[in-house]
Structure 1
């Protein structure tokens, strides 16, 4: 149930992002608190599919995509990296991927570099948005 709600929210956010401005030729997506295991790519996969679907529907070339998965350094990033290979292989154009270990309480990305941030369970720990 929660995963379906997240899917709808991400799809709506992608539509808003793509339709409110000129579609960028490059987009960066980050998942904060991705964990590891079978659901590590769930949110970013929805975002990538939504972007490709939007571009197909409106006959626009899809942007180059860069996907970052973030979690605490103790996460099993070996498993995460293996799943990233699958994400890159099934998407065209090529999706560039990476991991960003660290706490989201600290700065993880350069200013104005991320178009969409998603998180399924880690943001409930925040009392305010960190910028």
Structure 2
């Protein structure tokens, strides 16, 4: 059986699901907040990056449950705060959440509902099933990639 079909978190919201047993991952994502904020400031400060007023952020290995949108939520807040300080209109932001095809994307999509209700910056959200060992996005289409707890799965350079 292909590893992409075998490796996945326990789905759903039951007692043994990833959604209910991911407090360590949540704590690690919270510790990454200053790094995410600095990365956003760096991306937003590069005027050639955001010429068209749009930004794309992709989370590789988003998983599911409450942690699925944690990093991109930090990125959205940092983007909004950066442009508020500059008294400029924030760019439209497209969030792309990636994980293996057998991830519980139903829970991920439920998590996206709250993000779509944020008015500034405008959020367009989507899921991208597939392995990050394969090409997932057109070249030059993503301004910021983030990944927190999927790094330990890396086995290829």
List, as ranges, runs of 4+ consecutive aligned residues in structure 1 with deviation greater than 4 Å: none
> Is structure 2 residue 108 aligned with structure 1 residue 80?
yes
Residue 123 of structure 1 deviates from its aligned partner by: 2.3
Larger Rg: 2
CA distance in 2 between partners of 1:61 and 1:23 (Å): 15
What is the total number of aligned residue pairs between the two structures? 129
Map 1:1-131 → 2, pairs under 5 A: 1-22=27-48, 24=50, 25-126=53-154
**Is contact 2:57-2:94 (8 Å) kept?**
yes
C-alpha separation in 2, matches of 1:128 and 1:43: 24
Q: CA RMSD in A?
A: 1.6
Residue deviations 1:37-64 (CA, integer Å, cap 9, x gap): 0111000000011000000001111101
Unpaired stretches in structure 2, ≥5 consecutive residues: 1-26
Unaligned runs of 5+ in 1: none
Q: Report the secondary structure of 1:90's partner residue.
A: coil
1:107, 1:23 → 2: CA distance?
21
1: CA distance, partners of 2:89 / 2:118: 17
